Amino acid sequence: MIALTLAEVAAAVDGRLVAADPAVTVTGTVEFDSRKVAPGALFVAFPGEKVDGHDYAAGAMESGAVAVLGTREVPGVPMVLVDDALTAMGRLARAVVDRLPGLTVVGLTGSSGKTTTKDLIGQLTVRLGTTVAPPGSFNNELGHPYTALQAGPDTRYLVLEKGSRGVGHVRYLCEIVPPRISVVLNVGTSHIGEFGSQETIALAKGELVEALPSDGLAVLNADDPRVDAMASRTSARVVRYGEAPDADVRAEDVTLDDRGRASYTLVTPEGSAPVRLGLTGRHQVSNTLAAAAVARELGMPLAELATALGELGLVSTRRMDVFDRPDGVTVIDDSYNANPASMSAALKALATLGRGRRTVAVLGYMAELGPFERDGHAEVGQLAAELGVDRLLVVGEPAAPIHEGATAVANWGGESVLLTDQAAAVEVLRGELRPGDVVLVKGSRYRTWEVADALRADATSENGATA
């Protein structure tokens, strides 16, 4: 963060100083986990249901915090008192980015691939200047300002993921940190249970381009009609990326190698260049084009861009993380999250990597599909069978329609089993896996993590995700 006096902090968050010297300066970070507090920090105390941050206020001061931002007084602790700590964090983030005129904010949203593409953009912008784009999602009312508050006077690029579970969410996140470049990746069906329809999802994601100033830039996926249509919702300039022949930044002649890594010809208004990705999955063509469109806009020359795209790696864990075990089994750990679109992308990657090998898919429940829950799962099972997956392990009763969807496919040569929990899946895998097998592990968050971790033992990651 930039250095701010407590008087400035109080003014930014509409707070009141209690037992605090207004001239004292916050020189460190803003933290809501007291274990992360270092000298000069501002500690934010949230009144939680189980844990109340105010109980940690004194400890944070002992660790070197200069004050505590919270909603009630703590005796002996200098406080910035506010009505709502979350709103205050948002306001403070806004005050900080407003004081950084040299900062370019890149915001991105979409149903699948926000974190992946945020990490890609961050790996490109860091070649152009100091970048804040930390691993992980940080895409909600808390993570968003927390990330933005890491920007300081030296930061040139702040790359932020904007999550959305309803109309108005992205708009609010854009009020906290207004983007100059807005990237919309896709409109799928994740969280459709809360949204109701894909049209509403498109309405909500499009708030990201509505928030742009007229001298900003909208980077839109030309291959997704609902995203392409968002061009009419902004006064900013629009750059379209994709494989559509009329896209401004596009991929031509896409091929996949036997590890599921794509090569393509990157075509831009400045010319074209060959790109060879080290990332796994056909869907990375789209993600890397989005990142390329941003880097190009920020001034990266085409030749450097093509090279940089080839050097992109994984940053956040459990997303298309491919590794080979010493026993010759290849694992695709895509266990971070799952929705029908990302299941489809992952199953296709499994099919590509598994050509000539035995393929195993360990698939768990996809959360938040609402009324589409049954069909969404059944279609994933059907696709797995149609792609010729040899062995399907469906984990947990709620995911049962995956099993049913697969077994309903006539002439499928593979075999599916519905298992009660992750431990049962690990047991089956330990008994069945042979050298040469390729295993995909995927589900919504913790529902398949243990399986991936069990398979990870004794293995090294190919793409090297770190967090």
Q: Which positions touch ligand ATP (CB under 6 A)? A: 110, 112-116, 137, 139, 161, 163, 185-186, 283, 286-287, 319-320, 334, 336-337, 341-342, 345-346
Residue 141: strand, helix, or coil: coil
Asked if residue 114 binds Mg ion (CB under 5 A), the reply is yes
DSSP state of 117: H
Task: Calculate the CA 354 to chain-centre distance.
Answer: 26
- The CA distance from 208 to 229, in Å, is 13
Asked if residue 140 binds Mg ion (CB under 5 A), the reply is no
Q: How many residues bind Mg ion (CB under 5 A)?
A: 3
Asked if residue 186 binds Mg ion (CB under 5 A), the reply is no
The H or E element containing residue 182 is strand 181-184
Asked if residue 137 binds Mg ion (CB under 5 A), the reply is yes
112 binds, among Mg ion, ligand ATP, none (CB under 5 to 8 A by kind): ligand ATP
334 binds, among ligand ATP, Mg ion, none (CB under 5 to 8 A by kind): ligand ATP
- The CA distance from 210 to 302, in Å, is 29
Least distance to ligand ATP from the beta carbon of 282, Å?
Answer: 9
Neighbours of 6 (CB within 10 A): 23
342 binds, among ligand ATP, Mg ion, none (CB under 5 to 8 A by kind): ligand ATP
Asked if residue 115 binds Mg ion (CB under 5 A), the reply is yes
Residue 332: strand, helix, or coil: strand
Backbone angles phi, psi at 439, to 5 degrees: -120, 125
Least distance to Mg ion from the beta carbon of 217, Å?
Answer: 22
SS3 per residue for 183-211? EECCCCCCCHHHHCCHHHHHHHHCHHHHC
DSSP state of 52: B
Q: How many CA atoms lie within 13 A of 392 on its CB side?
A: 32
Is the CB of 234 or the CB of 286 nearer to ligand ATP?
286
Least distance to Mg ion from the beta carbon of 367, Å?
Answer: 14
Name 446's Cβ contacts closer than 8 Å, sequence gap at least 6: none
Measured CA to CA in angstroms, residue 343 lies from 189, 384, 413 at distances of: 12, 9, 20
Least distance to ligand ATP from the beta carbon of 45, Å?
Answer: 26
Least distance to ligand ATP from the beta carbon of 281, Å?
Answer: 6
Is the CB of 288 or the CB of 337 nearer to Mg ion?
337
Tell me the β-bridge partners of 107: 160, 182
Least distance to ligand ATP from the beta carbon of 188, Å?
Answer: 7
Is the CB of 281 or the CB of 381 nearer to ligand ATP?
281
Question: Nearest-CB residue to ligand ATP?
Answer: 113
Chain residues in the site for Mg ion (CB under 5 A):
114-115, 137
